Structure 1
Amino acid sequence: MIVLALLAGAALTAGPLLWSARRAAHTARAAEQRAADAEQRCAAAERRAADADNRARTATARADDAEDRAHGADTEARAAEAHRTVADARYAAAVRELGHLAHERIPAAATALNHPRTPVPGPLDTTGGTDELHHALDTALTAAVRAVLAERERTDAAARAALRGAASKIQALLIQVRSLLEEIQLSVDDPRLLALDFRNELTLRRVQSLAVLSGAWPGMTREDSPLAELCVGAQSRVAGYARIEITNHLREPRLAVAARAAEPVAIALAEILGNATAYSHPETRVVVSIEQGSAGALVVVDDMGVGMEPDQLERAGDLLDGQAEVLLTELGDPPQAGFAVVGLLCRQFGFGCRVEPSPYGGVRAILRLPADLLTLTDPAAPLSALAPRPITQTTPVFDAGDALPTRKRRSPRVPQQDAPSPLPSPAGSTPDRARSAWSALQSGTLAGRSAAHTSPGPEGPAAPEGVETP
């Protein structure tokens, strides 16, 4: 019992202790749990702190990167502004260059096509700018010049075609007028008919020149024609024919121009004589000398006119040599086509011409006929009574009492053909005397034309060889 009592007392005593122990254990477990929770929260806090630190470092890096990007953006903005300034300057320079190209360079290049000495300006700024801009400007200038050339050729071709058709029709009509006048002269004794015939010949020469310029055939063919007669025939086509003095220095009086070149030579001579009389004083002479060399013949024409400037002589030489392009639109208004016509005929038929200052103070034109264009006429064929005879060369004659020879000039040979009777110069004018004078002049003109041996061509009869006076 005692034991039980002891046990009961011990039990009673141990109960609170056990409860206390349990309570202490539970408190310890709670404390451990709280400590574990605190450790977890501390670990979480450390993780959050680490994350915050990482985010802060990331933010700092981002801020630094943003600052770098902002600095780069500012640098790029400044560079873009500089580029824009340069681009604006280049654009302004390009606008100036384009304006200079349109208003200065292209017009000067177009002018230089007709006047080679005209300077063509270059770009405004040869040091600045870019090679691409200068290349583009030069390409545009070249394209503009090509377009001008193409348009000029097209316009000139159209003008030539129109002129060729008109000249052909007018030439045919003038030849019909000539034939009609020749018929009327056989039945009507009126001196005005001869003046009308002369004006018709002058008009026909002008039309022939236009036909040559337009690329058409001159419109007449001839047999082999004596050179002296061709010179007289050319003289008869010039308004100032009375001022022209022809001197024949040929060694062979029957030296003639081949049929294929006879009419072109006559046209060229008429143009040269026309220039000589037009650009010299009406009271001065035009001296023509026919010479025979070892390789052909020469016709030298000297006038006493105003002469030509060096650049005009150079331009004329280019036209006569065929080095300058002949455009109808560049011949002036009214057109000055004399040298252009001669140059075209020279290139087409093989003779030559050049101009130089004349000893008489005007211009000397030398027409050179090569040997392959020359021939001799039939000795049985009579020469024209109106053609000048060759001047007989002087021969030295020795006198007995002189130590040195002296020269005595012989008189020129008298023509063998029957020349037309001279016109009477009566003190008074009567119908009979006028009829006699007109008949004598008419017979002389017809004799000269008959001696020329002209033959009709595809577009009409040939031009007369003799001198025709109004």
Structure 2
Amino acid sequence: MNQVALIWCLASVAALAVAAVVALTLRSRALGVKLRRAEAEVAQAQEAARHQVEAANSKLVQFQQEQADVIREAEQVAEDRTKGVLKGSARFLQSLAAEMTTLLDRLQREYGNHPVLKDLLEVRHANAQMARKAEGIAVLCGGPLGRRTKPASIYDVVRSAQGQIRNFQRVDIMQGSNVALKATAVAPVALTVAELLDNAATFSQNDAPIDVTFQRVQSNMCIVIDDAGVSMSDEDRQAAMELLSGETPPRLSGLGNQPKFGFPVIGLLARQHGFGVDVTGVSRYGGVRAVVRLPEELWTMEEIPPPAQDVPVSIRRNEGQPRQPQAVEPVGRTAHGLPKRGQRQTPIASVSDAGRRDDSSPVREVSPSRSRLAGFQRGTLLGREDEASSFEGSEDR
């Protein structure tokens, strides 16, 4: 009896255990189904959310692009309008400088033997600097340079550039040259050399020399400018070469509160007219060596008149005697219209002869500063011609 009861108890327990296992299995399967369904729903929700995020990102990128385009267009409009205002102002200043040059020419013709000549030349020098700055701003804003129809000696072009900087006495042109720049290259090369000379004078001591030489390298004619200032760092050289390459048009907003127009203007001129400028070299004094490299398309080997000398010789005339124009001997012309070099008939005074007097032909004594200014005056005859040509029939491009 006890055994039968025990067997029934064990059977009941086994049945309950089997029932529990079956129930747990069914429950587990149901939970698995629910879990898989939940995971599918979560994955579906994640996919939908991902698509929404991608759509939102796409709209954001599109909005940012549209915003950047609007900002860029607004900046370009502001840049163009600012350049237009500056170009008009610069042209007005150039016009005033040309008028002042004409007035100073007349005063020098009338009072050439008067002591006030020195002051007039100093005024002309200041006027030439103002005209150069205005011309550089005009070029940076898209304005044209002065138009020329005749070639010019590369020596005279450099002398013209020398006369457009403040400390022009420090510039020493070490040699002459029988190279003539073609008409289209005269104005851009003159402005380029003037900016490089001004840069050399600005970043060196007031008594430091600035040497200019001419070198022919293969088919290129090079104008080499050596200063005795502080050499540039590698970063400064790289930044300078980027500006001088002209590949990226300079923006007025990027010139700073104290804008430096020199290198951006040079870069534009070099790119427009096909010459190169390099400032990565070291000068003989340990400063910067700037090289203007002119390809053979911009110059020619033609005979040119000898350069004007430094000291004007003023001969006194009797009171009441009218000025008589001096007879000019005719000279031959080359195939390109340049005058041929003729034989010098009378010696031309040099700087060292400034204090000498000739009893047979009395002259006014010339002070050293006046001699230097007179040299500057003769060296800038070419620059005055450019100023005049800039306002005779020139039109904005």
Give the TM-score band, short-chain normalised.
0.5 to 0.7
Say whether the 8 Å CA contact 2:79–2:252 is kept in structure 1.
yes
Deviation of the 1:319 alpha carbon: 1.7
Deviation of the 1:258 alpha carbon: 0.5
- 1:197 alignment counterpart: 124
Distance 1:213 1:143 in 2: 29
* Secondary structure at the counterpart of residue 218 of structure 1: coil
Deviation readout 1:96-130 (Å, 9 max, x if unpaired): xxxxxxxxxxxxxxxxxxxxxxxxxxxxxxxxx94
- 1:376 alignment counterpart: 301
- 1:338 alignment counterpart: 262
Say whether the 8 Å CA contact 2:200–2:229 is kept in structure 1.
yes
Paired AA for residue 362 in structure 1:
G
- 2:196 alignment counterpart: 272
Say whether the 8 Å CA contact 2:159–2:379 is kept in structure 1.
no
Q: How big is the alpha-carbon RMSD for the aligned residues of Structure 1 and Structure 2?
A: 3.9
Tell whether 2:349 aligns with 1:419: yes
Higher relative contact order (CA 8 A, sep 6+): 2
- 1:159 alignment counterpart: 82
Which moved further from structure 2: 284-293 or 210-219?
284-293
Distance 1:365 1:137 in 2: 49
Output aligned runs, 1:302-451, within 5 Å. 302-359=226-283, 360-379=285-304, 381-386=305-310, 418-419=348-349, 422-424=353-355, 436-437=365-366, 441=371
Tell whether 2:105 aligns with 1:182: yes
Tell whether 2:391 aligns with 1:459: yes
Say whether the 8 Å CA contact 2:140–2:264 is kept in structure 1.
yes
Equivalent of residue 261 in structure 1, options 178, 185, 197: 185
CA separation of 1:415/1:256 partners in 2, compared to 1, >3 Å: closer, same or farther?
farther
Distance 1:227 1:447 in 2: 15
* Secondary structure at the counterpart of residue 308 of structure 1: coil
Q: TM-score, normalization: structure 2?
A: 0.67
Distance 1:453 1:193 in 2: 15
Say whether the 8 Å CA contact 1:322–1:343 is kept in structure 2.
yes
- 2:158 alignment counterpart: 231
Deviation of the 1:134 alpha carbon: 4.1
* Secondary structure at the counterpart of residue 174 of structure 1: helix
Deviation of the 1:173 alpha carbon: 0.9
Distance 2:256 2:298 in 1: 33
- 1:147 alignment counterpart: 70
Which moved further from structure 2: 305-314 or 327-336?
305-314
Distance 1:173 1:158 in 2: 23
Which moved further from structure 2: 328-337 or 255-264?
328-337
* Secondary structure at the counterpart of residue 436 of structure 1: coil
Distance 2:83 2:390 in 1: 21
Give the fraction of aligned pairs with identical amino acids, expressed as a percent. Answer: 26
Say whether the 8 Å CA contact 1:244–1:288 is kept in structure 2.
yes
Tell whether 2:168 aligns with 1:168: no
Say whether the 8 Å CA contact 2:121–2:374 is kept in structure 1.
no
- 1:3 alignment counterpart: none
Deviation readout 1:268-305 (Å, 9 max, x if unpaired): 00011111111222232223221122202001222232
Distance 1:313 1:240 in 2: 24
Larger radius of gyration: 1
CA separation of 1:169/1:451 partners in 2, compared to 1, >3 Å: closer, same or farther?
closer
Say whether the 8 Å CA contact 1:223–1:259 is kept in structure 2.
yes
Deviation of the 1:415 alpha carbon: 12
CA separation of 1:444/1:146 partners in 2, compared to 1, >3 Å: closer, same or farther?
closer
Paired AA for residue 235 in structure 1:
Q
Paired AA for residue 209 in structure 2:
R
Output aligned runs, 1:54-203, within 5 Å. 130-188=53-111, 189=114, 190=116, 191-203=118-130
Distance 2:187 2:63 in 1: 47
CA separation of 1:221/1:141 partners in 2, compared to 1, >3 Å: closer, same or farther?
same
Paired AA for residue 457 in structure 1:
S
- 1:34 alignment counterpart: none
Paired AA for residue 103 in structure 2:
L
Distance 2:139 2:102 in 1: 23
Q: Which runs of 5+ in 2 are unaligned?
A: 1-33, 312-343
Paired AA for residue 170 in structure 2:
R
* Secondary structure at the counterpart of residue 223 of structure 1: coil
Paired AA for residue 259 in structure 1:
A
- Equivalenced residues, count: 311
- 1:392 alignment counterpart: none
Equivalent of residue 300 in structure 1, options 204, 207, 224: 224
Deviation of the 1:240 alpha carbon: 1.8
